[in-house]
Structure 1
């Protein structure tokens, strides 16, 4: 009897085990055109079943044979490949096994929300995979939430935000790199077998050298309007890592590619307390089956609708005082500049660096940073007087801050040395004569918030802030974190986001420029709180064509701040035509303009404002790349295809150069469009031979228009408007 009883119990346990390991129905995460589908394997581990063009019938996904090994390769228990997640448990066990427990899906309007719950069967260690599928934009946003209920803290070793697998014979990776004032050099290369990393270890200026964004062509290099492309970008303002592990798998599969984007675990074995959530940054990606152009348009529409703070709203045009005065200004000079801003026709006057510091006045970049009190010698009547002067001229007022930083020659440094990242027993490692404040410390977070809050409390009519960050992180030691130094890089960025979140909650209508010595923070982690970003301190319009064109792969043109400055020896028209392809602004001595130049600038501002809705929220079509060409062209169309703007630039052309016709894209073939050249130096003498003429969209896209610019560094901006 006892044997029979034991046999029954064994059978029940066996049946229960089989029931628990039973393959689940596919978990389908889908947009209009793309599906990411999961199932489980025999070990009850999550397995990617499919990633690609959405199938019409959801039951067809069950016909696909899943991969044998799990999608989420974990440290210590998974196949010997790059781990996506890893942990050192409280008992010092360095392994992790994640098994499926449940999932849920709901749809609200345009967004499908999916959560997949995973758990280690031997430990109270939990991972929730989060997905947002944006139907109309064909974009998926993915992140992970890690928590545990072990008795003591655990140490997180790996923490990828996403875990994607592709199967093909070849992959071609496009990414961008550079340095200060030399951003956005494009490189496309075939991925070799093995592991390829794109990463940052800079701490504060995350994207100074490499971007946390990429495009990956499948099987063969894609062009603008043809080919399969995966485009992705990580929303994180700190150290990042993009891992691509290309594995020769089998003859039928070819090369299996594992893509693991996330926070860089360099010097960041993260201590996580019980019942505390660690949330990875979002990875935003789109799969295009119509080339790189469509991938960009998908990301741009997602960004405008969801990724940028008030992304649909038009941004302010401005005049910055920096190149007019540098640090040398007083109330009289600034008041004169306010009148120039009014005469020019911009919305904002932006007061840049140098307005603060008394004991250590900010007369150069070697002193005063951290002492955010108005310099009474330069501005004896304070900021309120300037704000009032701006209001009299119907101009809004903006101001520059760099609140994360401090000069050793400052009162803040003297009062709070414990607030600063620096190593004991080592010389201070200065960059731009400054150090970084310890934003892991709540007291420092409060201080940084108060920098902005105090300015706006005293001057409620200030409408615009340029938030700068002019160095990357060295001296990487936090007095506040004590024995948890490996949390520094991550907690710094989280502390920064806490400050930005507080600012947004209190000042929802404040316009914020996200700046970091140029393109040091060109990423969507900060753009969640900011309206626009500064792409580069290099404002030479010839180089800006390459820089802004490069950023357009991932970011809308309308959020790329582009200023007309003294950089470059091109004509003012060329500078205006380049700047108005982004978010137009000025940083130039307006008083030195001739009457003709002032009129041209005023006219360009009016033209820009009439087109800003299109530039800000329209769809980009890159027509001619500046790379390996002597010219460049792109156009932006509105959604109804009623209006568009075309940008054309000659670069360093030579006598005898011949150019192909301009083949327009993104128009309605059945509509007719009137073409008008803008920003003319002589209204009676347009460069464009077809100025004022009407063509069908079909003609413009198929037959095109003959290239008409002659000579180096010439430009033209053409407005298209549908006519009945």
Structure 2
């Protein structure tokens, strides 16, 4: 790795000194180069984005791709890296500022740049400045050489005498020149998250965005796939996978210009967010993270998974806790005695932790439904007279850890908190208040509210240091869009609210760095890599129907590793077997949310063995390389496998969804194995006394055979699953 960093630094220095017209900056990984070049007019252009160039002397030829004129003009081939508004560029800008004198234009010119080694890669910093106004922009790029991932963001500031209005503020702008472009987007709603669809991009703009403020990704997820020359495919073709780290309103703009060049512009959504930027205040945009692959989305996803576990996901290389949650079993109706019994069930099942969900708090306004109590984070004495300490003791006696649900960013109007501090909620003056799910969003732009939200967590952990886990929910988008705290500066609300959330999370992480937390938002409505710096995992969907979960988990796996994706076995879709439900959940971070008393003896025995198998195979499932083999979108089956780095162990998950009568069944061709090694095939997660119907069971095959010929794992059974362990001999 050190040699790579030295090479990149040397490359930067060599190209930097070859004359003003040849000044180049290389942002590179082991597979990808992003080459930026300073033109004679002093402006910075993208000269190249593509496969790594082997011969460094070829970089000098890239100057022909930059057409910035000495008079400051830009031709149709001038791909300016961070174009401002109001000048000669006719397309969507990266930056738009209205200066204090009313001038709406900004033209940035190169000042300086440097590179330094950071954890896992190289950071390039580029400073730009407007030569007519005291406006500066600093561009940041971090290239992770081994993982082939680049993340980038910008910092904007000015030294004008009065505040300026900032109304476009992209993280970056990237250009592509290909024959065709195909966008895969991930739409969503409650219980149908991460639904994939593709379309060809034509001339003009395609915009993916959200205006929800909080629970922001409820309808649109903050990631995409871009197929270059052809639609994105799993195992072949040129693709880009990109995501923005922002737990609020985001916007992706895909603009095909008059000569067929595509601009990709990731940003905070400027909707209702004309930001008043004070002198010397630094406006930092979200990180945009992307990777390129020549062999389809599978490789791109593995790049992301490896990068996330090493550098972005909280405790990405640590362990994860299996759990039993009480929500689907009890909802709001429980007491200390019942919870104590459920903790014993958790131990009997073999999971690590019992998780208490909603309904444990509120006294004046008891939380016995979702219409009251939210915001009053005191244990409900009528339900739990011994408080959290008694629950922690019961969990310890049962032999499991104890976790708890919170939703600290929200408030019910029927609560003591709202009665005392109605100005802490985001509400419109002079309008009838609209309530989403009987609640309002607390105004996290207000420092007092930030203190309160941090205090919810801090108080629980100060008084109960053995609480081992938080399920952090966020069930409402922002409605009634007005901040009593910001008053006449409402353009800051959406942005400062999210910054306030990060302020709280930074304080929690600083004081309690080792407490794992689940990011839950009515399902997968918060699923971004900035939030996941603070959370060990996220809840993909409230929909736990295993058939629907196959599609949801397939979609989220494009961007997130299995280690970050929670999947629970529940009673949704009882037409499917407990085995099928468990096998579907086992391809992610496994949990349960049902009462063991509703299980037959053989089903319970199966679940116990499945938990033990999952724990044994965590090195493959949570930390191995994922290969998506058969898509549920392509037919009536699905298959996914995980392989550990030394390729001595792999796990294959095979699912029959709704096969047609008499349909032709094709073998599943495996990936990621060592062709020279021999692997013993063994079906696991079988019901008690059941025998494997897999013909290959307990047989040995070479990796070469398994990848070229494959295994006949599919059947014509409805909602049928197989889990197959492969061990090198």
TM interval, short-chain normalised? over 0.9
Q: Classify 1:21/1:667 alpha carbon distance in 2 versus 1 (closer, same or farther; 3 Å).
A: closer
Aligned counterpart for 1:43 among listed residues 41, 44, 49: 41
Q: Report how far residue 660 of structure 1 moved.
A: 1.1
Deviation per residue, 1:517-544 (Å, 9 max, x gap): 0010011121011000000000000100
> 2:685 matched to which residue of 1?
679
Aligned counterpart for 2:481 among listed residues 476, 482, 490: 476
C-alpha distance in 1 between matches for 2:203 and 2:689: 58
Q: Which moved more, 1:585-594 or 1:229-238?
A: 585-594
Aligned counterpart for 1:95 among listed residues 82, 101, 105: 105
State the TM-score, normalized to the length of structure 2.
0.95
Secondary structure of 1:182's aligned partner: coil
Secondary structure of 1:74's aligned partner: coil
Task: Confirm or deny that 1:139 pairs with 2:144.
Answer: no
Q: Which moved more, 1:212-221 or 1:405-414?
A: 212-221
Aligned counterpart for 1:116 among listed residues 94, 107, 126: 126
C-alpha distance in 1 between matches for 2:490 and 2:22: 42
Task: Confirm or deny that 1:177 pairs with 2:187.
Answer: yes
Task: Confirm or deny that 1:669 pairs with 2:675.
Answer: yes
Q: Report how far residue 453 of structure 1 moved.
A: 0.6
Q: Report how far residue 110 of structure 1 moved.
A: 3.2
> 2:6 matched to which residue of 1?
none
Task: Confirm or deny that 1:262 pairs with 2:267.
Answer: yes
Q: Classify 1:496/1:395 alpha carbon distance in 2 versus 1 (closer, same or farther; 3 Å).
A: same
Q: Report how far residue 707 of structure 1 moved.
A: 3.6
Q: Which runs of 4+ in 1 moved over 4 A?
A: none
Task: Confirm or deny that 1:722 pairs with 2:728.
Answer: yes
Secondary structure of 1:627's aligned partner: helix
> 1:62 matched to which residue of 2?
60
> 2:710 matched to which residue of 1?
704
Secondary structure of 1:172's aligned partner: strand
Q: Report how far residue 684 of structure 1 moved.
A: 5.0
> 2:309 matched to which residue of 1?
304
Task: Confirm or deny that 1:359 pairs with 2:364.
Answer: yes
C-alpha distance in 2 between matches for 1:684 and 1:377: 47
Deviation per residue, 1:223-255 (Å, 9 max, x gap): 212111011000110000000010131xxxxx2
- On the 8 A contact 1:312/1:616 being kept in 2, the answer is no
> 2:170 matched to which residue of 1?
160
Deviation per residue, 1:341-379 (Å, 9 max, x gap): 111111110000000000000000000000000000000
> 1:28 matched to which residue of 2?
26
Task: Confirm or deny that 1:599 pairs with 2:600.
Answer: no
Deviation per residue, 1:103-135 (Å, 9 max, x gap): 101234631110010000011110000010000
Deviation per residue, 1:264-284 (Å, 9 max, x gap): 001111111111111101000
Aligned counterpart for 2:660 among listed residues 636, 654, 657: 654
C-alpha distance in 2 between matches for 1:550 and 1:418: 40
Deviation per residue, 1:529-566 (Å, 9 max, x gap): 10000000000001000000111110112221100000
Task: Confirm or deny that 1:223 pairs with 2:233.
Answer: yes
1:5-24 matches, within 5 Å, as 22-24=20-22
Unaligned runs of 5+ in 2: 1-16, 68-77
Q: Report how far residue 596 of structure 1 moved.
A: 1.0
> 1:559 matched to which residue of 2?
564
Task: Confirm or deny that 1:77 pairs with 2:77.
Answer: no
Secondary structure of 2:241's aligned partner: strand
Secondary structure of 2:718's aligned partner: coil
1:627-638 matches, within 5 Å, as 627-638=633-644
> 2:202 matched to which residue of 1?
192
Q: Report how far residue 169 of structure 1 moved.
A: 1.1
Deviation per residue, 1:566-623 (Å, 9 max, x gap): 0012000001100000110000011222221111111000000011121112111111
Deviation per residue, 1:686-716 (Å, 9 max, x gap): 1322111111100000111224423110000
1:565-580 matches, within 5 Å, as 565-568=570-573, 569-580=575-586
Q: Report how far residue 492 of structure 1 moved.
A: 0.5
Q: Report how far residue 67 of structure 1 moved.
A: 3.3
> 2:349 matched to which residue of 1?
344
Secondary structure of 2:258's aligned partner: strand
C-alpha distance in 2 between matches for 1:119 and 1:337: 62
Secondary structure of 2:403's aligned partner: strand
Task: Confirm or deny that 1:381 pairs with 2:379.
Answer: no
> 1:9 matched to which residue of 2?
none
Q: Classify 1:107/1:57 alpha carbon distance in 2 versus 1 (closer, same or farther; 3 Å).
A: farther
C-alpha distance in 1 between matches for 2:552 and 2:457: 30
- On the 8 A contact 2:340/2:394 being kept in 1, the answer is yes
Secondary structure of 2:563's aligned partner: helix
C-alpha distance in 2 between matches for 1:49 and 1:246: 18
- On the 8 A contact 1:73/1:81 being kept in 2, the answer is no
C-alpha distance in 1 between matches for 2:40 and 2:168: 25
State the TM-score, normalized to the length of structure 1.
0.95
> 1:8 matched to which residue of 2?
none
Secondary structure of 1:43's aligned partner: coil
Task: Confirm or deny that 1:643 pairs with 2:649.
Answer: yes
Q: Classify 1:86/1:21 alpha carbon distance in 2 versus 1 (closer, same or farther; 3 Å).
A: farther
1:530-569 matches, within 5 Å, as 530-568=535-573, 569=575
> 1:6 matched to which residue of 2?
none
Secondary structure of 1:183's aligned partner: coil
Deviation per residue, 1:39-98 (Å, 9 max, x gap): 022321100010000101222121022232223221101411001111111222111010
Secondary structure of 2:194's aligned partner: strand
- On the 8 A contact 1:709/1:715 being kept in 2, the answer is no
Unaligned runs of 5+ in 1: 1-18, 250-254
Task: Confirm or deny that 1:494 pairs with 2:504.
Answer: no
